[in-house]
Structure 1
Amino acid sequence: MTSARPRRSALYLPASNARAVEKARALACDVVILDLEDAVAPDAKDEARAGAVAAARAAGFGPRELVIRVNGLDTPWGEADLAAATEARPDAVLIPKVSSPDDIAAARARAPSDIPLWAMIETCAAMFRLEALGAASRHAGVAAWVIGSNDLAKEMRCALDAERAPLATALSLSLMAARAHGLTILDGVYNDIADADGLARQCAQGAALGFDGKTLIHPSQVDAANAAFSPDADAVAWARTVVTAFDAPEAVGRGVIKVEGRMVERLHLEQARRLIAVADAIEARTAG
């Protein structure tokens, strides 16, 4: 079962930009991803690595999860990135371009077992190994997958607009594989920072598909993601009604009960409890 921890908005920031990282400590995002990969030029990789380590050690991110995205192990910077990131002990380390179970095993072999790993699903090869990747992820302590829609679209040579029709199959299959193995999964980024309407449509699409949240490239996108991936108030109220009904003495041992005229199965009880847990966590974070 995926975590009830809110991960509605995961903001990428170049770890070489100390000013942006400092501002992130006060943003409303659920996750801060300090990026050593795509957002950092080759001649700034060492500076970014040092900045990420310093930020992780300084802490001060409050309830936000802090994740460091390293460069791939097949690059000149990957080994040093992973060693430095795990030593800094963020909440997780994000591994890019995971295409096979061997990629997950290689990362885990170099990272302490108590450091959660996240994996980028962003290659065509990964799409044909999703079941194996899911099993390997669960075995290796990978807590979440992140869709890399830009890299995937680049490999596919397809158009990438707000509706993302060419990626529909990849998004759905990735989500199903993640759910089959109890993983959190975050949607890819929306590139047009100025297009608030397109962002809102894509956030709504991702939420409707079932993603837990969305990765972002600019602080101005945080509010839209938080709104789209927060549980609907009516849905939370109904979930509380379902839990109360199943907790009643007359419902003990029953697989199906009638709640306010609707037939509700026990499988809906787990969904209701998770929805409530997410809503309560968001409320606690907002109050804090």
Structure 2
Amino acid sequence: MEKSLRPRRSVLYMPGANAKALDKARSLAADALILDLEDAVAPDAKLMARQQVAQAVNAGGYAPREVIVRVNGLNTEWGKADLEAVAPLPIDGVLLPKIEHPQQLHDALSILDAVNPDHHLPLWIMAETPKGMLNIAQIVQNQPRLSVIVMGTSDLAKDLRVRHTPDRVGLLVPLSLCVIAARAYGLDIIDGVYLDLNDEIGYNAACQQGRDMGFDGKTLIHPKQIEAANQAFAPSAQEVEQAHAVITAWEQAKNEGKGVVVVNGRLVEYLHVIEAQRILALAQAITSLGA
């Protein structure tokens, strides 16, 4: 089984400079929240956003949602102070932007642990640059504090000079590379944002494409996108029913000494049993969230 079955179907960015948004996030049905100090915050509001996020997190009320803070990069004037500020906070992880080599993770961990050596905050990383794509396997291997890869498809598309097409043909190779790296090293991986808030059909198709490609969830830019992501990245009722049937048939065949199992006309092997167990565990975890 995978090391983490925490649902991350819907991962919503919330701007750290917007106090009303930080408060509203406590009532939203997102599985995870990214309280953002980076792209969503103007330079002259960075310090205020850092203070507001700290106050909001310390005030609590976000459970059972996973709370992540995206800091500014260490190559900026705010990055080091951001990490020092979030190190003692009761959060579930820190999201590092524009990761291109493993040393960036080590540098961030050194700062976090110097401030709060007992917290052991998990890291999430943004995969959003061409160099990050080329180095993704090297970046994520041997990183016990790393939990999640988040795709930054807007920055990546800009740097690659690819167009935002419905099939995302220009991004399929880097997206798949990151999915492969995530699965190879036991990480969750979250798909990039969908920018057109008025294109419901296109957004639903993008969610389905992300799930078909192997992503665990989708990053969101507006609360109106939560419900569709929660549905797309959750096991359907049919999948849950099929998973139960696979496990029941496998156990029955094993007890009867049979070597071949067929469920609904399809041959079942042990690999299908493992996947069925994962589906049921994910469905149970979603139920536990009250979603």
TM-score bracket for the superposition, by shorter chain length: over 0.9
Gaps of 5+ in 2: 114-118
Change (3 A) 1:93 1:244: same
Query: Aligned partners of 1:253, 1:44: CA distance in 2, in Å?
Result: 67
Q: Which aligned pairs between 1:106-185 and structure 2 lie closer than 5 A?
A: 106-112=107-113, 114-136=120-142, 139-185=143-189
RMSD: 1.8
Query: Aligned partners of 1:255, 1:21: CA distance in 2, in Å?
Result: 55
Gaps of 5+ in 1: none
Choose 274-283 or 238-247, whichever is displaced more.
238-247
TM-score normalised according to structure 2 size: 0.93
Paired residue for 1:242? 246
Query: Aligned partners of 1:235, 1:251: CA distance in 2, in Å?
Result: 24
Amino acid at match of 1:250: K
Q: Please state whether the residue corresponding to 1:111 is helix, strand or coil.
A: helix
Paired residue for 1:229? 233
Amino acid at match of 2:42: A
Offset of 1:256 from its aligned partner? Answer: 5.6
Change (3 A) 1:249 1:199: closer
Paired residue for 1:43? 44
Paired residue for 1:79? 80
Amino acid at match of 1:274: R
Offset of 1:176 from its aligned partner? Answer: 0.8
Paired residue for 1:198? 202
Q: Which aligned pairs between 1:254-273 and structure 2 lie closer than 5 A?
A: 257-273=261-277
Query: Aligned partners of 1:142, 1:109: CA distance in 2, in Å?
Result: 14
Query: Aligned partners of 1:261, 1:250: CA distance in 2, in Å?
Result: 18
Task: Assess if the C-alpha contact under 8 Å between 1:245 and 1:251 holds in 2.
Answer: no
Change (3 A) 1:260 1:201: closer
Amino acid at match of 1:215: T
Task: Assess if the C-alpha contact under 8 Å between 1:162 and 1:190 holds in 2.
Answer: no
Query: Aligned partners of 1:30, 1:122: CA distance in 2, in Å?
Result: 22
Offset of 1:59 from its aligned partner? Answer: 1.2
Amino acid at match of 1:22: D
Offset of 1:244 from its aligned partner? Answer: 2.3
Q: Please state whether the residue corresponding to 2:286 is helix, strand or coil.
A: helix
Offset of 1:194 from its aligned partner? Answer: 1.6
Q: Please state whether the residue corresponding to 2:14 is helix, strand or coil.
A: strand
TM-score normalised according to structure 1 size: 0.94
Choose 237-246 or 141-150, whichever is displaced more.
237-246
Choose 158-167 or 148-157, whichever is displaced more.
158-167
Paired residue for 1:96? 97
**Deviation per CA, 1:145-172, whole angstroms, max 9, x where unpaired?**
0000011111112212332110011111
